[in-house]
């Protein structure tokens, strides 16, 4: 079994190129996120750079959505990234947005 077989997110990345990834501003420092990968949204919230655009794509996402991707800060990713579940409703919305079929997770 390959790593992509055990983690369908490694050949997807749709959520990273669909949603704004917002979190409480101090979370970035606590997690050790590089400041160049975040931007301030307001006095209380920051987001991953690139996700606060009309066509979002996280600056930490490497690769081609729907083919092969990786997160350059996976171990330091913020809470919204940790909350998305493969096959969940947010996953399904993101995959549909990119023309990918929904995941069937068992």
Domain spans of the chain? 3-97
Report residue 3 as tokens: 């790593």
CA-based nearest residue to 19, from 63, 50, 60: 50
23-69 pLDDT tens trace:
999 999 999 999 999 999 999 999 999 999 999 999 999 999 999 99
Burial (CB < 10 A; 0-12, 13-18, 19+), residue 35, is exposed
Q: Are 72 and 3 in contact (CB under 8 A)?
A: no
pTM score > 0.85 for this model? Answer: yes
Average pLDDT over residues 61-85: 95
């Amino acid at each position: 079994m390959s790593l992509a077989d055990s983690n369908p997110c490694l050949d997807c990345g749709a959520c990273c190129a669909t949603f704004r990834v917002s979190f409480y501003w101090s979370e970035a420092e606590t997690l050790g996120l590089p400041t160049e990968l975040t931007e301030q949204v307001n006095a209380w919230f920051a987001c991953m750079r690139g996700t606060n655009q009309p066509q979002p794509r996280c600056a930490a996402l490497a690769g081609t959505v729907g083919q092969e991707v990786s997160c350059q800060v996976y171990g330091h990713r913020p809470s919204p990234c940790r909350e998305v579940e493969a096959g969940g409703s947010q996953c399904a919305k993101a995959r549909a947005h990119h023309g990918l079929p929904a995941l069937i997770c068992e």
